[in-house]
Structure 1
Amino acid sequence: MATQLMRRGRESFVVLERADAVGGTWRDNVYPGIACDIPAHLYSFSFRPPADWATLFPRGAEIRDYLQRTVDEEGVAPFIRLGCEVLDARWDAESARWSVTTTGGGPVRARMLVLAVGRLSEPHSPQVEGLDGFSGTVVHTARWDPGAVSGGERIGVVGSGASAVQIIPHLAELAEELVVFARTPAYVVPRRDRAFSAEERARLRDVGAAKELREQLLLDADRAFAQRLRLVPDIDQIRDLALGHLRDQVANPILRQYLTPDYEIGCKRILLSDDYYPALGRPNVVYEPSALTSVVENKACAANGATHDLDVLVLATGFEATRPPVAVRVRGRDGKVLDDHWSKGMVSYASTTVAGFPNMFVIDGPNAALGHNSAIYMIETQLDYVLGALDYVAAESVLSLEVSAEAEAAYTAEIDERSAPTVWLTGCNSWYVDPRSGRLTLLWPGTAVSFRERNGTFDPAPYVVCVDGAGGVR
């Protein structure tokens, strides 16, 4: 967003960043094995020169460096206030401004507010009796301490999702014993990562070649949406791939049974790994097919009654995704709290604006992510929408624009209708679905291309527009 505003040179803007550096998810997550599961040339900005990626799937540190280079080369660093956490944001109808209180000094007054806080920023910690009294070290993958594991420890890992699948092979090599507490097994398909050759890297530094690859990767990924619609033979093929991968890599029939999901593939996130299953077969690894329920000093107790003496507990338990914590700090028209508006799950219009919150845009918010394709493509689509709104505001001398409650309700109904036939609503417990309403609130229930077709162009028709200081509207 900052890069686009900088290039336009029309709007004054400031980026409020609570951390001491840019990078977001890829700054905070530095656990061993951290990497993206979207190909590098699709998980990068279309409007930036192609980066010199080393492998098909980028490592976390590479992405972090890519983001820092963007800041440096686009000249946006002077417009970013680091160590500046937003404490409160309030809409002032009289002045048609947002007043934002931060830890970085006096309030910021802004005509427009863009929430770009992401969905993978607040670690989720499980409710485990006695966890606070654990005599060893407790560390969340999203707040990794490089000194937590040096080698020879008895380590417990809680979780079986994407972070767990990435970190477990690395911890298995260091631990005296590694215990994996897995409440629900995941479907895992081959990752098939590889290094680019010197010739490939040279060719892909060309803008045209990188763009061609990006477009092909996008279309290839979008074809996977047929699986999420449970269409045959697509879903059978991906299920056969996952179960065949499990069969090929896990010889022990009991362990293989533990690792076989009992829900339809795609209902939860499908994971990519070539070394997760082999790690579970190591002699120093114990796969505990039940949740961690309690801790007594250094003893970790599983739901099935098994206990394990541990020195380190690693929480690979994901994030607070369906209920963004920042929402309690945002107050819109008449003082309404965004978290209250989203009390039954996130809702929006065009996955970008929210009724009751004028001049506010949410990036990567309600129904703006994908379970099969690149988040970067979705974010770029939303940027086009926001920039279109800014152009309209400037051209029409608009003081405020607010999507109507009717438009938001209609869009929500559209999302629900699109979601109904998808695999995400087949009954598994997934972070894609809000537990309060049972609605699919995180993912767009369609292809990446269909999201751009539906939400890539700003249209003022669904908005209440204030055009003068006397409160005139149209």
Structure 2
Amino acid sequence: MNPDAEERAVTRDPLLPLPRRVEVAIIGSGFGGLCMAIRLRHAGIEDFVLLERADELGGCWRDNTYPGAACDVPSHLYSFSFEPKTDWSRRFAPQAEIRDYLHHCAGTYGLRGHIHFHTEVAGAEFDEAAGLWRIHVAGGRLLEARVLVSARGQLNRPAYPKLQGLERFEGKQFHSARWDHGYPLEGKTVAVIGTGASAIQFVPQLAPRVKQLFLYQRSAPYVLPKRDRAYGRVARALFSWLPVSQTVSRWWTYWQNESRVLAFQGPAWVRRLLERQFHRHLERSVPDPRLREALTPTDPFGCKRVLLSNDYYPALTRPNVEVVTEGIREVTPHGIVTGDGRERAVDALIYGTGFQATDFLAPMRITGRGGRELNEAWRQGAEAYLGITVSGFPNLFLLYGPNTNLGHNSIVFMLESQVRYVLACLRVLRERHLRFLDVRPDAQRDFNARLQRGLERSVWGAGCTSWYKTAEGRNTNNWPGFTFHYLRQTRAPRLAHYEAV
């Protein structure tokens, strides 16, 4: 058995007994949870657990196993700064390789004995007198923790379309994040609903295999070329023998990506340059002017997620692929009827409809001081101070929380900044013998007022709908500026912004 397979076999064991009380409880074992756990061990803190509802670690890189799944951030940047990998196969790593990297990190840093699988958190309430979070685990178990860290992220609960008649469909149906690899798609007529980041990766893989593919597009995305390439033996040897070469590659990539924030916050001429690049890519890939028109977005560039692909547009030109822009009226037992009354018979429905990204900690029930529930505090949309702490919920820290998603750079950079901040808060709790830290409501309010003003000045304030926003139009997901500004703001906690008890 190879080391990665052995690691996965070990970490699948769900029988690890849950302790009664720990100093830190971490929900989730993706990039955020593992980073938090590794840094706790670096700081000499061993009294922690990772609570994972699945039978394997990896977060979204465990869940998204659809054909063609890969990262759209270069691999040298989409990995921990303290654990570089010198043998990535490609500039943009495929899903299985990223999953194996996370297993490697868990094994290298001795996290096996801290991860509890099949352990779903149903809710938690804060005991103000004791300064403890009481965490309710499915199955009736109870865990107490001084500090609760949510590392569930934003992309963990699939979003399913609300379509009339969906329950009547008699064929196969599944979401891209719950791919059914046991269902043979060869020779089938398949409907794909959605044209987001997942669909542009799996549609080119399906098109040559299926008899007919209908792609139901509500709005066309901007798709730019993906500057991908395989790393040859010489390149991998160089990264291994001369580690500074990978460090240079990482930082060069970082600053290249960081400059892209100008597409969202900068002058209009920057977006016009990128729009021209998009049109050249579309024209080179799609000869049919009618299809090009259907694939041309009507929203401002960057208002929705900008996607990267070299094979998406060519796949849509295949004779067995049809892009359907007419809205869906209903689903029948054997197909889909669009607004023009036409029914297309299909064998399977595949949803590329993304995630419930604005719900954050749902469906967990989190209760803070005075019995206030987090879903009530977030009734107008989720918000947090620095995307990490929420007033009225002491010693609760969020990784990849509200308004820390990026449209231009690596979320791993943001996670490392957040973990550093959480550790600093934990040191304050320990060194000052505090019961809890609770961010002041005025500090949270002022931070989010500034943040929302920044978002309103960005292209995301242009009025389009996207998964970045709630149904009411509030942007709860994106960070509106440079990541080095976020790094500076999270370098150390400003205790004047906290109630220290």
Please give the TM-score of this superposition, normalised by the length of structure 2: 0.91
2:418 match: secondary structure: helix
Deviation at 1:213, TM superposition (A): 1.2
Per-residue Cα deviation, 1:77-113 (whole angstroms, up to 9, x for no partner) = 1001011000111101111100001126631100000
Distance 1:225 1:109 in 2: 41
- Partner residue, 1:134: 169
Match of 2:68 among 28, 33, 40: 33
Distance 1:137 1:273 in 2: 27
Alignment of structure 1 residues 10-25 onto 2, 5 Å: 10-25=45-60
Alignment of structure 1 residues 233-382 onto 2, 5 Å: 233-326=269-362, 328-382=364-418
Distance 2:230 2:465 in 1: 35
Distance 1:52 1:303 in 2: 50
The AA in structure 1 aligned to 2:415 is I
Distance 2:413 2:139 in 1: 32
1:450 paired with 2:480, answer: no
Per-residue Cα deviation, 1:110-164 (whole angstroms, up to 9, x for no partner) = 0000011111110000001111111100010010011223300000000011111
Deviation at 1:51, TM superposition (A): 4.0
The AA in structure 2 aligned to 1:102 is V
- Partner residue, 1:470: none
Deviation at 1:327, TM superposition (A): 5.6
- Partner residue, 1:213: 249
Deviation at 1:326, TM superposition (A): 2.7
Please report the RMSD computed on the Cα atoms of aligned residues, expressed in angstroms.
1.3
- Partner residue, 1:78: 113
Distance 2:301 2:96 in 1: 30
1:48 paired with 2:83, answer: yes
- Partner residue, 1:471: none
1:177 paired with 2:212, answer: yes
Per-residue Cα deviation, 1:284-340 (whole angstroms, up to 9, x for no partner) = 011101333311111211234332100010000000001125364111111211111
Residues 126 and 369 in structure 2, CA contact (< 8 A), matched pair in contact too: yes
1:376 match: secondary structure: helix
Distance 2:315 2:70 in 1: 17
Deviation at 1:460, TM superposition (A): 1.3
1:389 paired with 2:425, answer: yes
Compare 371-380 and 293-302 and name the one that shifted more. 293-302
2:125 match: secondary structure: strand
1:261 match: secondary structure: coil
Distance 1:178 1:105 in 2: 46
- Partner residue, 1:195: 230
Residues 328 and 338 in structure 1, CA contact (< 8 A), matched pair in contact too: no
- Partner residue, 2:474: 439
Alignment of structure 1 residues 60-79 onto 2, 5 Å: 60-79=95-114
Distance 1:325 1:364 in 2: 11
The AA in structure 1 aligned to 2:223 is V
Residues 400 and 465 in structure 1, CA contact (< 8 A), matched pair in contact too: yes
Distance 2:361 2:188 in 1: 34
2:173 match: secondary structure: strand
The AA in structure 2 aligned to 1:380 is E
- Partner residue, 1:8: 43
Distance 2:219 2:339 in 1: 12
Please give the TM-score of this superposition, normalised by the length of structure 1: 0.96
Compare 10-19 and 255-264 and name the one that shifted more. 10-19
1:108 match: secondary structure: strand
- Partner residue, 2:17: none
The AA in structure 2 aligned to 1:362 is L
1:247 match: secondary structure: helix
Residues 181 and 302 in structure 1, CA contact (< 8 A), matched pair in contact too: no
The AA in structure 2 aligned to 1:201 is R
Deviation at 1:203, TM superposition (A): 1.7
Residues 51 and 66 in structure 1, CA contact (< 8 A), matched pair in contact too: no
Per-residue Cα deviation, 1:378-437 (whole angstroms, up to 9, x for no partner) = 00000110011011111111110100111110011010111121111111111112222x
Residues 327 and 338 in structure 1, CA contact (< 8 A), matched pair in contact too: no
The AA in structure 1 aligned to 2:477 is L
Residues 122 and 363 in structure 2, CA contact (< 8 A), matched pair in contact too: no
Deviation at 1:207, TM superposition (A): 3.2
1:54 match: secondary structure: coil
Distance 1:181 1:86 in 2: 36
The AA in structure 1 aligned to 2:493 is F
Deviation at 1:11, TM superposition (A): 4.7
- Partner residue, 1:119: 154
Distance 1:134 1:456 in 2: 52
Distance 1:456 1:184 in 2: 40
- Partner residue, 1:146: 181
Deviation at 1:457, TM superposition (A): 2.1
Deviation at 1:204, TM superposition (A): 1.9
Per-residue Cα deviation, 1:176-208 (whole angstroms, up to 9, x for no partner) = 100000000000000121101111111223432
Per-residue Cα deviation, 1:34-56 (whole angstroms, up to 9, x for no partner) = 00000000000001133410000
Residues 83 and 104 in structure 1, CA contact (< 8 A), matched pair in contact too: no
Deviation at 1:223, TM superposition (A): 0.4
2:358 match: secondary structure: coil
Deviation at 1:31, TM superposition (A): 0.4
Distance 1:175 1:4 in 2: 46
- Partner residue, 1:224: 260
Runs of 4+ in structure 1 off by over 6 angstroms are none
Residues 69 and 95 in structure 2, CA contact (< 8 A), matched pair in contact too: yes
Distance 2:342 2:416 in 1: 48
Residues 40 and 57 in structure 1, CA contact (< 8 A), matched pair in contact too: yes
Distance 2:277 2:228 in 1: 16
Distance 2:216 2:484 in 1: 38
Residues 336 and 344 in structure 2, CA contact (< 8 A), matched pair in contact too: yes
Structure 1: state its 5+ residue gaps.
Answer: 467-474
Residues 367 and 441 in structure 1, CA contact (< 8 A), matched pair in contact too: yes
Compare 318-327 and 146-155 and name the one that shifted more. 318-327
The AA in structure 2 aligned to 1:124 is A
Residues 354 and 402 in structure 1, CA contact (< 8 A), matched pair in contact too: yes
